Amino acid sequence: MSEVDFLIKQFEYCLNCNYKDAAKLIAAELIKLKGKVQINHQFKFICCSHEKIHKNPFITTDSRLLQYFPQCEHYVCFNCLGKYIFDIFSRVGISYTYTCPGCNAMFSPEKTKLDVYAPYFTNVIPVERIYESIQKNEQNFAVTIKNINDALKKAECYFFTNRELYLKCNGQGRVQRMPNCNHKVCDCCFRKRLEVLKEESEFYCPIPHCTTILAHSIIKDVLIQGEELTYELWPRLKIEGISHILCFNCERALESVDSNIFILCQCGYELCVSCGYISHPGISCYVIKSGVQDYKEFECREDDEIPEMKSHYFFALSKFDWDVHEKKVDYLRNTFKVKLQLTKVNYIYNPALQQKYDKAKELLIKKGTFEGEIYVFHATSNSIYTDICKNGFKVGGIEVEIKVGNAYGFGVYTGTDPAMSICFYGKDNKKMLICKALLGKKGDHALKDKTEFQNTEDDYFFVDFRGVQTDYYIFFKKEHVLPYYYIEYQ
């Protein structure tokens, strides 16, 4: 087989597998060699949310029928996108954080936010209606403030004239009129009643025997910073678009809009708006709240009651299964007798390794060589997985012997999809690691000399197989690869 014929076969394979970048490189080589190629092929695009909504996939060769979101790399058909936007806007208007339907369908931990002024949005909801919704929200807020102010005028606390429950009202506090039931209570008596009623599942009107349920915004308005009652009730408050947290350090009651990731407390700590602990990017609030200080694996299930763990499961599933092409799946199933079904997902929490990884990332950013983060796959002998999860990777050929595949010198060997791991270890064990990895300065050759390896300024070497098999990332620094999921499959 001539070189041109070989490249033509590679080119056809890449087109069928939708490996666009590899196909472009091979096409460039064929042009140089003046190869004559005649292949009829059309790329296929799949809507990420169609199957979840309509119970059947939507596949097309016309990219104009879908919206592409570069942040999450999802394609969503305009039918799904329009239905999602129209249904939500009809109910709540603009006071909602719209996100990519593909991210929602696949439970992506980090969702792409939609631009309400982008054509894909304004084609469904005209700009005039968007402006009307914004103005309506502002008017509703103004009306609410006016109603509260009106309720304060010429009002007398119920407990000032009715000495029930032995509440001694002095008649000097600010008085609020409760919505719906119109009972009037001063802030002081309100707080005294909240002390008694705080164990109830709902916040009720403080007047005896009244069953009116109060909005949480009314409760927030009577609480005082620093009081024990505020410390107990603040985290329970649920107001649309607002997060209420207590600083773990000074116990100050804080609020922030939901779109914020963190908030800075007056005591100097940067806090997570979801749980109130020190900001912990990349680590779930559930893990932080559990109080675990050292390495621990958290099992994640498809039907997990904890949303964060359920999200981890589906994210690992998308990396394990979604990125594997059908032809490669058939090859793996037939050759290694695997079903390619996840049976277990463990989220790896290791603060010591996370700290080393974060420092390595900061150093790359400082040097100006940081090119982003990716997810890669690694498999090894059954007895070594736990050691990697606890203590991190060791550099192959330097700190540990390379037992399988050493053609590309020293480093931590990883693959861009699960296929390499299955090919090397699928018969011995049905396990692998999904890792987060840092891309720094790319080297142009493998490092097989120890002296050169110890003195190199490069961070990794990429082996591009142009669609023939799994591409490799060989990382020269072990801190640049973080074990993230420990999975088992069948």
The predicted-structure confidence for 200-247, as pLDDT tens digits, reads as follows 888 999 998 898 988 888 888 888 887 888 888 888 888 777 777 788
The residue behind tokens 């096409």 is 27
In a domain, 291, yes or no: no
Q: Are 244 and 255 in contact (CB under 8 A)?
A: yes
Contact 65, 77 (CB under 8 A): yes
Residue 12 lies in a domain: yes
354 and 392 in a single domain? The answer is yes
pLDDT: which is higher, 33 or 127: 127
Q: Which of these three, 92, 118, 144, is where a domain ends?
A: 118
Quote the pLDDT of residue 81. Answer: 93
Examine residue 205 and state whether it is found in any structural domain, yes or no. no
Cα–Cα dist 101/83, whole Å? 10
Same domain, 25 and 75: no
For residue 387, the tally of other CB atoms under 10 A from its CB is: 12
> In which band, very low, low, confident or very high, does the pLDDT at 149 lie, cut at 50, 70 and 90?
low
pLDDT digits (tens, 9 = 90+) for 90-116: 888 888 889 999 988 888 888 899 998
Is residue 140 over pLDDT 90? Answer: no
- Is residue 231 domain-resident? no
pLDDT band at 34 (very low <50, low <70, confident <90, very high): low
Q: 367 and 446: one domain? A: yes
142 has a pLDDT exceeding 70: no
Domain extent at residue 472:
297-489
Longest dimension (CA), the chain: 102
Residue 464: the pLDDT is 74
Above pLDDT 70, what percent of the chain? 90
Q: Tell me, what CATH number does 335's domain have?
A: 3.90.228.10
Residue 474 maps to a domain: yes
pLDDT of residue 145: 59
Domain match, 87 and 12 both: no
Give a yes or no: residue 212 inside a domain.
no
pLDDT at 298: 93
Q: Of 118, 139, 154, which residue sits at a domain end?
A: 118
Kindly state whether residues 399 and 471 are assigned to the same domain.
yes
Average pLDDT of the chain is 83
Show which of 118, 146, 167 is a domain's final residue: 118
CB 398 within 8 A of CB 410: yes
Is there a single domain that holds both residue 26 and residue 58? no
The Cα-based distances of 253 to 5, 31, 43, 98, 366 in angstroms read 70, 66, 54, 28, 35
Radius of gyration of the chain (CA): 29
* CA gap 159, 157 in Å, rounded: 5
**Amino acid, res. 285:** C
Give me the pLDDT at residue 350, please: 93
Q: 63 and 9, same structural domain?
A: no
Split into its structural domains, the chain has a count of 3
Residue 436 has pLDDT above 60, yes or no: yes
21 is a domain residue: yes
- Spatial separation of the C-alpha atoms in residues 112 and 480, rounded to whole Å: 26
**More reliable by pLDDT, 179 or 43:** 179
Give a yes or no: residue 305 inside a domain: yes
Spatial CA neighbour of 473 closest among 425, 422, 397, 408: 408
Query: Are 83 and 27 members of one domain?
Result: no
Residues 109 and 16 in one domain: no
Residues 377 and 316 grouped into a single domain: yes
For residue 275, pLDDT beyond 70: yes
* Reported pTM: 0.54
Instruction: Write the DSSP string, 127-190.
Output: HHHHHHHHHHHHHHHHHHHHHHHHHHTT---HHHH--GGG----S-S-EEEPTTT--EEEHHHH
Q: What is the pLDDT of residue 386?
A: 92
Identity of the highest mean pLDDT range in 16-30, 281-295, 361-375: 361-375
Note the pLDDT tens digit of each residue in 357-388: 999 999 999 999 998 899 999 999 888 999 99
Mean pLDDT of 408-421: 86
